[in-house]
């Protein structure tokens, strides 16, 4: 079986002795055109790009990502537009592996098999479905694997050891560790030391799996978490877009500066 683009990205980062930097931005925010421009420019610094699929009931997300999502929906973003963006992005010079992140209702509405097939056609490397947990996601995960698409399993501080072992066993090339019990963008409620302690406990179960940490990661906390395989920053970028729009500044330039700064902190 061909090595996935996600796995290759993690291998490259390990050779450079640093964690992978994963960015999250919402497709269609602040506009269809600008969201593509943001993706294109930040891919010079990011190792993996997560792209949010707009949903009007994003229960796992905090204010910053909700604001981004509502702007995208207001702009009339549709899932077909997101697929077009991915296809276009994957043809650019610095294109990085991309992961679609969204909610199961969007997949159901589009049609499960049709959704996976389209992901394959446009070059999606991975899929995260926030509200499709293990074991309910087993069949969907298998369908993704058949198309050589990574289905990313989620684990959290409350995942029991029994479930953890089985989730890791069923996982593909990447696992997403939710650092704390909160929506995205929440203030870190525990120390980074405690997060790494929990992370290492999971890592010990299978050291060959790439495990990334997400939720609450900012420019202040990212450097102290660099022992992880990868770190996800999303809310901070969405917040920067909102701030840029309020100040009538160019969000493409400002988000790029932030991603460049985050990369420097973990390099």
Q: Which residues belong to the active site?
A: 50, 61
The SS3 call for residue 108 is: helix
SS3 category, 232: strand
Q: Which of 107, 132, 108 is nearest to 53 (CA)?
A: 107
Can you read off the two tokens belonging to residue 103? 């909610």
CA distance 267 to 246: 31
Residue reference for tokens 């087993």? 138
Backbone φ and ψ for 14, nearest 5 degrees, come out as -65, -35
- Residue partners of 197: CB distance under 8 A and separation at least 6: none
Helix (H, G, I), strand (E, B) or coil at 145: helix
Alpha carbon 157 to chain centroid distance?
18
Cβ partners under 8 Å of residue 208, min gap 6: none
Beta-carbon-side half-sphere exposure of residue 116 (alpha carbons within 13 Å) = 17
């Amino acid at each position: 079986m061909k090595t996935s683009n996600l796995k290759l990205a993690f291998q490259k980062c390990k050779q450079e002795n640093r964690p992978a930097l994963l960015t999250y931005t919402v497709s269609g925010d602040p506009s269809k055109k600008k969201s593509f421009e943001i993706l294109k420019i930040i891919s010079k610094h990011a190792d993996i790009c997560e792209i949010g699929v707009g949903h009007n009931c994003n229960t796992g997300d905090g204010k910053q990502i909700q604001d981004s999502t509502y702007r995208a929906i207001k702009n009339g973003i549709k899932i077909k537009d997101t697929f077009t963006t991915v296809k276009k992005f994957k043809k650019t010079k610095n294109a990085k592996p991309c992961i679609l992140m969204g909610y199961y209702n969007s997949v159901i509405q589009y049609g499960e098999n049709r959704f996976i097939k389209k992901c394959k056609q446009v070059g999606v490397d991975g899929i995260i479905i926030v509200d499709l947990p293990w074991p309910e996601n087993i069949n969907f995960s298998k369908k993704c694997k058949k198309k050589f698409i990574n289905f990313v399993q989620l684990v959290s501080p409350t995942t029991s050891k029994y479930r953890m072992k089985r989730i890791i066993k069923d996982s593909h090339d990447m696992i997403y560790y939710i650092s704390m019990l909160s929506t995205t963008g929440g203030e870190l409620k525990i120390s980074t030391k405690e997060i790494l302690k929990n992370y290492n406990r999971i890592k010990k179960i299978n050291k060959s799996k790439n495990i990334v940490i997400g939720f609450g990661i900012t420019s202040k906390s990212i450097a102290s978490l660099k022992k992880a395989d990868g770190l996800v920053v999303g809310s901070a970028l969405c917040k920067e877009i909102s701030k840029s729009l309020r100040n009538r500044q160019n969000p493409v330039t400002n988000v790029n500066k932030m991603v460049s700064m985050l990369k420097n902190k973990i390099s």
